[in-house]
Amino acid sequence: MDDSRLKGRPPFPFAVIAAAIAFSPRLEAMVAEAVRLAAIFGAELLLIHVGRRTAAKEVMLDEIHGRLGAGAAVRIIWLEGDAVDSLLEACKTNMVDLLILGALRRENILRYYLGSVARRMSRRAKCSLLLLIEPAITGTPFRRIVVSCVDHGKTAHTVETVRYLAAGTGCTDLRLAWEMDQAGLAMSMSGDSTTVETARIREQLLRDEEAKLGQLAIGLEDDGLRGERLVLSGRPGFAIRRYAEDCGADLLAVNSPDGRYGIIDRIFTHGMEHILEHLPCNILIVHSRPAAGPDARRTDG
């Protein structure tokens, strides 16, 4: 297809939602989650299965559609080949805005190094991803959503996408957590800084981060969203993961990575890896196709 059709396309509204399905015990729950979200946002719904198409699988899906009342409103795409490559191509061809994937809360060592479909997709997808750790036939409630905010042009798009998602799903507790740039903090302090100077620099940086956070939060109360705005310090990815876990978040939203990263990022852990190695809750990875702007700079890992 013409890739120019995707360039500049905003991450929301969700006009096309897809779900990657496997014929596992979680199949009906995954389909139910996708049907529910497509209905909420008035989106076209695709179910993508990478694997052999059989009569038994078709019958199983027909039965599930019948129980869920989905039927002809769902389009099924059958593919064969590498799971990630097939999903990427299907999402690009069908201009998918949101792809729903089942994910494990914590992967074992073997899967950590080989990489699961969800992990590999998080690095390569050109659409937003919703990783569900415990899909439910009744639908997953997103009562409390935490947004990871970093000093990057993508962050504003991520916050706006989450506001759109929150409005549709009935969330009223939206928390914006700014991850303080620890590298910038260290660089701003010379080796001979006094304790007083160090405290002053840290305080100024904290005020700066709070001001940026305040800009992102403009209008949230008008949307009926309440919640906290806070600045976190610590390793990127690790601090936000801990916060999402401690506050009982139903969903953690993060920017998509700037690009692919490899074995070096796995040895010297990238911020996203802290989240993916042990999911604190469901994860929304927002892929921003609009340009981040000349002032954007990467500080997420």
For the domain bounded by 1-137, which CATH number is listed? 3.40.50.620
User: What is the structure's pLDDT at 159?
Assistant: 95
Nearest to 156 by CA among 215, 227, 240: 215
pLDDT in tens, 49-82: 999 999 999 999 999 999 998 766 799 999 999 9
Q: Is 101 helix (H, G, I), strand (E, B) or coil?
A: strand
The two tokens of residue 213 are 């956070």
β-strand pairing of 44-50 with 74-79: parallel
Instruction: Let me know: does 288 contact 254? Beta carbons within 8 Å.
Output: no
Nearest to 103 by CA among 76, 74, 130, 72: 130
Percent of the chain exceeding pLDDT 90 equals 52
* Banded model confidence at residue 8, pLDDT cuts 50, 70, 90: confident
Q: What is the mean pLDDT of the chain?
A: 82
Break the chain into its structural domains and give their ranges.
1-137, 141-252+294-301
Same CATH fold assignment for domains 1-137 and 141-252+294-301:
yes
CATH class of 141-252+294-301: alpha beta
Q: What angle do CA 239, 141, 100 make, to 5 degrees?
A: 75
pLDDT in tens, 90-99: 999 999 999 9
